[in-house]
Amino acid sequence: MTAGEEGLIQLYAKALRLPTVADCAAIVREATQQRWGYEEFLRAVLQRELEQRQDNQRKRRVKAARFPQIKTLDTFDFGWLKHMEKAQVYELATGRFIEKKQPVLMFGNPGTGKTHLAIALAYQVCQLGYTTRFYTAGELVTDLAEASQQGRLSALQAKLIKVDLLVIDELSYISFGRASAELLFQVISNRYERGSLLITTNLPFSRWTELFGDATLTAALVDRLAHRAILLDMNGESYRLKQAQAQRKEG
């Protein structure tokens, strides 16, 4: 391939928005060495372009999810949990619950890996092509309150309903005022049978009134979540506490 031909390929590829095709020198060399036919060469070029686009899309989905850090299922220690089957988690990792628009609720005392598992599942479904958005409950309430004050609440709500999986982590540690509770209720209610939720909490349903303050509102919220929900019991020994104890012994 001459320099002039390479320049024309790059020009055409740029015009057609095929960035990977523009850098096809390595494929050309391989095609020459292997004596590929035209069909083999074209297949290799298009395959490379497709794989690069898919990789870029995965990276964009992960970035849009705004995970606080990346966690994966292969680094999660299932041995700490006595009430949950590993197979059930890997079934969730297929994303079928998203297709069915089912909510997933992880209940468990602090330190048992709820956040790790929530991130790992959301990260895995990102790889499968689903869009996700990760929030702590406090972050979500703050964003909703700010959007309401700035007159863009409807836009934010529309954005949240479009994602395939909305993760609300740590629905446990703060009590919401009436206005904040109603905003959060609306987000969860809007996704009822329209999109999947994944919620982590250290409080059973019976204590959610402590979070939302209003018994009627809480009952309506629980009714929507419990219907068709997948419940994971993650109560057990604190993994973080065990780690800290082990580190102290080593020290």
Q: Are the beta carbons of 75 and 89 closer than 8 angstroms? A: no
Sequence ranges of the domains in the chain? 3-64, 73-245
Q: Are the beta carbons of 133 and 67 closer than 8 angstroms? A: no
**Residue 214 token pair:** 């209003």
* Domain covering 73-245 assigned CATH 3.40.50.300 in the classification: yes
Which residue type does 5 have? E
* Span 101-138, pLDDT tens digits: 999 999 998 888 999 999 999 999 999 999 999 999 99
Q: Are the beta carbons of 163 and 191 closer than 8 angstroms? A: no
Residue 149 has pLDDT above 90, yes or no: yes
Question: Can you tell me the distance from the alpha carbon of 97 to that of 229, in angstroms, rounded to the nearest whole number?
Answer: 9
Question: Can you tell me the distance from the alpha carbon of 91 to that of 96, in angstroms, rounded to the nearest whole number?
Answer: 8
pLDDT value for 3 = 62
Phi and psi angles of residue 37, each rounded to the nearest 5 degrees, phi first = -85, 175
- Contacting residues for 145 by C-beta, under 8 A, at least 6 apart: 179, 180, 183
Q: Collapsing DSSP states into helix, strand and coil, what is residue 232?
A: strand
Q: Are the beta carbons of 238 and 111 closer than 8 angstroms? A: yes
Q: Which pTM value belongs to this model?
A: 0.84
* Span 48-71, pLDDT tens digits: 888 888 999 999 999 999 999 999
Q: Are the beta carbons of 243 and 77 closer than 8 angstroms? A: no
